Amino acid sequence: MAVRTELHIKNRRGSLVGGLIFIFIGAVMLAWRLNISLPVWEDLYPFGFILLGLASAYRIRGRGYHDGVFGTVFFLSLGAFFLLRNYGFIAYFHSWPVFPIAVGLGLMAQFVFVPKQWGLLIPGAALVLFGVALLMEELDYWHFYDIARFWPLILIAFGVGMLLNAWRQRT
């Protein structure tokens, strides 16, 4: 009986997603045929990141699943950054330094929800610091080559994080 109920829920979710996809495609095609101008992709893609983050947050809400915390923080931080950048709230620059920051924030958020995973905190903080350093260079506040010789510290931080995680799991 439980298997049948689970299959029923999966089928209902599948038909919901399929229905939403058909509605979206039909609305876009209708707007195109009626010569209604739609927003361009550059204006909309930050909302895609935000929707992915909210969907991940909905998945973990009230269910005790902490696996979605990383995705929630990762996608919400990317969506917020691109939204602020595309609408002129922050200066335009190449966006690739934001990705290590988003990954680091996701790892640190995962640690906040699962404190037993100490191995996530140090690599997360290292990625955030690395991304901020790249961002500072991108905005021309300082030059990364001044400290580029210290990049092995990132490897050391990852190693310390792995050791702390192994040590915490044994105790």
Q: What is the pLDDT of residues 131-141, one digit of tens each?
A: 888 888 887 77
pLDDT at position 104 over 80: yes
For residues 111 and 6, what is the distance between their CA atoms, to the nearest angstrom? Answer: 31
Q: Write 114-121 long-range contacts (CB < 8 A, 24+).
A: 114/66, 114/69, 116/168, 116/169, 117/165, 117/168, 118/161, 118/164, 118/165, 118/167, 118/168, 119/161, 119/162, 119/164, 119/165, 119/166, 119/168, 120/161, 120/165, 121/161, 121/164
Per-residue pLDDT band at 63 (split at 50, 70, 90): low
What mean pLDDT value characterizes the chain? 79
pLDDT at position 76 over 80: yes
Instruction: Return all residues near 48 (Cβ < 8 A) that are at least 6 apart.
Output: 79
- Would you report the helix, strand and coil content of the chain in percent, each value rounded to 5? 80, 0, 20
Q: Residue 30 corresponds to which tokens in the numbers above?
A: 């209708």
Per-residue pLDDT band at 148 (split at 50, 70, 90): low
Question: Residue 79 carries which side chain, given as an amino acid letter?
Answer: G
Q: What is the pLDDT of residues 14-57, one digit of tens each?
A: 566 677 778 888 888 888 888 888 777 777 889 989 988 888 88
Q: What percent of the chain has pLDDT over 70?
A: 82
pLDDT at position 59 over 80: no
pTM exceeds 0.75: no
